[in-house]
């Protein structure tokens, strides 16, 4: 599904990624670990076409996503759900509206929105928080809304960037359980973290980045930095 | 969403609508003014004529024969004859309040010769018509010398035409400058709207919303500003033409700018409406290209 072919990203004063190559198959759950500044977020931005590589190619289903026209980029992004450490919810919209907003951008009908949004909030355990604004919710609840928003349009791939960075250990574990369930129903997940416990608990493939280089690729890896 | 955004921006939207209203008002004024001046020019041209005054001893039959020949010229639109008696009557009427002049007229024979007033198809033919009359009047052509004086004001028309052309060019230049300023005003409004909505835009782009979905509301905002401005400027033009009419009633006589406004209302509306939309769209397109990375 995702293929990085000798990708490098070089800024004027630093090297974010250096000659990275790896493949992610459909349905995989891949953790990317590394210290801060290792290049994890840059790597995810390449998949979302928010950043372009200095050299190398990034393929999504055999299409080099950095060679398509600007008008075609939204088409790829619709197949990708994303969850971030800072949640990126719209503060002036309720939980319901934050998710409905995404569906409207997809051109879904009002009937579909009315039917699907409560259902997906129920999936993440927030069916009683439809009318709550983000400032009224805890960190864990906001992240659940962000997850609900990321999966509402049934993406092929879920990009998750440090989802538990602002959460306590118990809430972090609950969030990870949600991702496991999402992966079990077939969604490919690429998750970046520097949380050792999470990585070890997952028992899935682990890519290790250090100073922009891919130093380890373990099929059933553990956190080893 | 564009309408919501327009309302949400409050005073900033009002400022951009005001800027565009001024621009469209100037465009409307230049259009109305230009057409009005062209009408005035046509009126002036129609009133321009060659005045041929004849000697007091010229025979009426000879004058009427000349009139008939002049009427046959393709350059001549109309010829009117005023006899010696008609000229005397007209003079008495003009100076009826001046007892001294009227009294002195009674002491002499009619001092006026007959007159022909010749309207040309275009003032540019005045010279040709004058040469025709002069040629008929010369003893060498076998005709008796009938004509006392030939007069016309050709230069007035060309000077007036130049003045009108220059005024129109100046008007359009001012309108262009104002158009650029109003585009800039709307650009700022839309840029502010984009900045205010930057989180929403970021999420929209992240989830793969199409460019038109992201761009659309801002383009609509720009268009709304243009449409509102066009209606305001159209409404403002009415008191303006009323004011011009009252100020120029004595100068231009029967030419009615108000009648022109209502008579061409549809055309004026379309010009302002389309101009408003174009200005609004240009500004919002520029802003979305620059700030929304669309």
Give the pLDDT score at B250: 67
CB contacts, 8 Å: B203 with chain A: 88, 90, 101-102
Is the pLDDT assigned to residue B253 strictly greater than 60?
A: no
CA pair distance B170, B165, nearest whole angstrom:
9
Longest dimension (CA), chain A: 51
Q: Look at B206 and A88 and tell me if their CB atoms are within 8 Å.
A: yes
More confident residue, A63 or B10: A63
Query: What ipTM is given for this predicted complex?
Result: 0.79
Tens-digit pLDDT profile for residues B158-208: 777 777 788 888 888 888 888 888 888 888 888 888 888 888 888 888 888
In angstroms, what separates the C-alpha of A79 from chain B's closest C-alpha? 8
pLDDT at A23: 93
For residues A39 and A53, the answer to whether their CB atoms sit within 8 Å is: no
Pairwise CB contact (< 8 Å): A106 & B208: yes
Percent of chain B at pLDDT > 90 equals 14
Residues 6+ apart with CB under 8 A from A199: A31, A33, A193, A206, A221, A222, A223
CB nearest to B211's CB, from A74, A82, A106: A74
The chain A residue lying nearest B215, using CA atoms, is: A105
pTM for the model stands at 0.66
- Given an 8 Å threshold on Cβ–Cβ distance, is B213 in contact with A78? no
Q: Write the pLDDT tens digit of every residue in B39-70.
A: 777 777 777 788 999 998 888 898 999 999 99
DSSP A51-118: S--SEEEEEETTEETTSS-GGGHHHHHTTEEEEETT----TTS-HHHHHHHHHHHTT--HHHHHHHHH
Which of B5, B201, B207, B213 should we substitute to test contact with A (largest number of A Cβ atoms within 10 Å)? Answer: B207
Question: For chain A, which residues score pLDDT lower than 50?
Answer: none
Across the interface, which of B200, B208, B213 has its CB nearest the CB of A90? B200
CB under 8 Å to A151, separation ≥6 — which residues? A81, A120, A123, A158, A182, A187
pLDDT at B142: 53
Q: Which residues of B200-239 are buried (b: 16+ CB within 10 A; e: fewer)?
A: bbebbbbbbbbbebbbebbbbbbbbbbbbbbbbbbeebee
Which contacts (CB < 8 Å, 24+ apart) does range A96-101 have? Answer: A96/A121, A96/A130, A96/A131, A98/A134, A98/A145, A98/A149, A99/A145, A99/A148, A99/A149, A99/A152, A101/B200, A101/B203, A101/B204
| Residue of B235, B206, B229, B175 lying closest to B293 (CA atoms) | B206
Q: What is the pLDDT of residue B6?
A: 65
- Residue % of chain B over a pLDDT of 70: 89
User: For the residues B275-292, what does the mean pLDDT come to?
Assistant: 85
Does the distance separating the beta carbons of A90 and B210 come in below 8 Å? Answer: no
Q: Which of B86, B130, B133 is nearest to B112 (CA)?
A: B86
How would you list the strands of the sheet with B147-151, edge to edge?
B76-82, B115-120, B50-54, B147-151
> pLDDT band at B293, cuts 50/70/90?
low
In this structure, are residues B52 and B116 in contact, taking their beta carbons and an 8 Å threshold? yes
Residue B254: pLDDT over 60? no
Q: What share of chain B is helix, strand, coil (3-state, %, to 5)?
A: 75, 10, 15
* Cross-chain residue pair B208–A82, CB shorter than 8 Å: no
Whether the predicted pLDDT of B216 surpasses 60: yes
Quote the minimal CA–CA distance from B202 to chain A in Å.
9
Residues B17-42 have pLDDT tens digits of: 888 898 889 888 888 888 777 777 77
pLDDT of residue B100: 84
Q: How many Å is the Cα radius of gyration of chain A?
A: 17
User: Which two tokens mark A224?
Assistant: 């080893």
Of B114 and B96, the one with more pLDDT: B114
Task: Please check whether residue B205 touches A, CB under 8 A.
Answer: yes
Chain A residue with minimal CA distance to B209?
A: A105
Q: Is B208's Cβ below 8 Å from some Cβ in A?
A: yes
Structural element, H or E, at residue B224: helix B211-252
| β-pair partners for A193 | A33
Mean pLDDT for chain B overall:
82
pLDDT in tens, A86-95: 888 888 889 9
Which A residues in the span 55-74 are in contact with B, Cβ-Cβ below 8 Å?
70-71, 73-74
Q: Tell if the CB–CB gap between A105 and B199 is shorter than 8 Å.
A: no
Q: Is the pLDDT of residue B137 over 80?
A: no
* A positions 4-63 inside 8 Å of B (CB): 48
Any chain A CB within 8 A of the CB of B212? no
pLDDT tens digits, residue range B101-134?
888 877 778 888 999 999 888 777 888 888 898 8
What DSSP element (H or E) covers B118? strand B115-120
Residue B140's pLDDT band (cuts 50, 70, 90)? low
Distances (CA, A) of B284 to A128, A178, B222: 41, 42, 5
Distances (CA, A) of B242 to A63, B6, B110, B256, B271: 67, 33, 47, 9, 21
pLDDT at A210: 87
Chain A residues touching residue B212 (CB < 8 angstroms): none
Residue A20, phi then psi, degrees to nearest 5: -90, 130
- Residue B141 pLDDT: 53
| Touching B: A residues 153-182, CB under 8 Å | 153
């Amino acid at each position: 599904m995702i293929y990085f072919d000798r990708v490098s990203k070089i800024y004027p004063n630093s090297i974010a990624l250096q000659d990275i190559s790896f493949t992610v198959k459909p349905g995989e759950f891949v953790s990317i670990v590394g210290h801060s500044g290792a290049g994890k977020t840059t790597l995810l931005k390449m998949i979302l076409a928010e950043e372009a590589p200095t050299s190398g190619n990034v393929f999504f289903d055999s299409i080099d996503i950095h060679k398509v026209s600007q008008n075609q980029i939204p088409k790829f992004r619709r197949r990708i759900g994303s969850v971030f450490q800072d949640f990126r919810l719209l503060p002036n919209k309720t939980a319901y509206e934050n998710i409905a907003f995404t569906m409207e951008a997809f051109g879904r009908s009002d009937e579909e929105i009315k039917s699907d949004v409560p259902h997906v909030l129920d999936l993440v355990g927030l069916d009683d928080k439809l009318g709550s604004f983000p400032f009224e919710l805890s960190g864990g609840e906001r992240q659940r809304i962000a997850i609900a928003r990321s999966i509402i349009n049934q993406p092929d791939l879920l990009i998750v960037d440090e989802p538990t960075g602002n959460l306590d250990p118990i809430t972090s574990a609950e969030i990870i359980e949600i991702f496991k369930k999402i992966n079990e129903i077939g969604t490919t997940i690429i998750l970046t973290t520097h949380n050792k416990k999470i990585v070890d608990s997952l028992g899935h493939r682990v890519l290790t980045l250090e100073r922009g280089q891919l130093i380890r690729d373990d099929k059933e890896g553990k956190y080893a930095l | 969403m564009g309408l919501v955004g327009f309302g949400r921006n409050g005073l900033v939207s009002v400022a951009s609508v005001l800027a565009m209203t001024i621009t469209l008002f100037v465009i409307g004024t230049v259009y109305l003014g230009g057409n009005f001046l062209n009408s005035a020019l046509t009126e002036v041209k129609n009133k321009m004529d060659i005045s041929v005054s004849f000697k007091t001893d010229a025979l009426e039959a000879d004058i009427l024969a000349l009139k008939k020949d002049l009427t046959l010229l393709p350059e001549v639109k109309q010829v009117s004859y005023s006899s010696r008696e008609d000229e005397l009557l007209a003079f008495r009427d003009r100076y009826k309040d001046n007892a001294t002049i009227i009294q002195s007229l009674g002491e002499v024979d009619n001092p006026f010769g007959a007159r022909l007033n010749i309207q040309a198809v275009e003032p540019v033919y005045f010279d040709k018509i004058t040469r025709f009359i002069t040629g008929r009047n010369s003893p060498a052509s076998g005709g008796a010398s009938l004509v006392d004086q030939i007069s016309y004001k050709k230069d007035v028309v060309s000077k007036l035409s130049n003045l009108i052309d220059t005024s129109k060019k100046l008007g359009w230049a001012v309108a262009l400058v104002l158009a650029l300023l109003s585009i800039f005003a709307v650009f700022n409004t839309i840029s502010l709207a984009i900045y205010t909505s930057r989180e929403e835009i970021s999420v929209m782009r992240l989830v793969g919303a199409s460019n038109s979905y992201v761009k659309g509301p801002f383009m609509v905002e720009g268009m709304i500003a243009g449409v509102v401005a066009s209606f305001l400027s159209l409404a403002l033009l009415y008191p303006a033409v009323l004011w011009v009419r009252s100020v120029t009633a004595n100068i231009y006589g029967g030419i009615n700018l108000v009648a022109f406004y209502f008579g061409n209302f549809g055309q004026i509306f379309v010009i302002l409406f389309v101009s408003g939309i174009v200005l609004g769209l240009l500004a919002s397109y520029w802003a979305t290209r620059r700030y929304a990375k669309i």
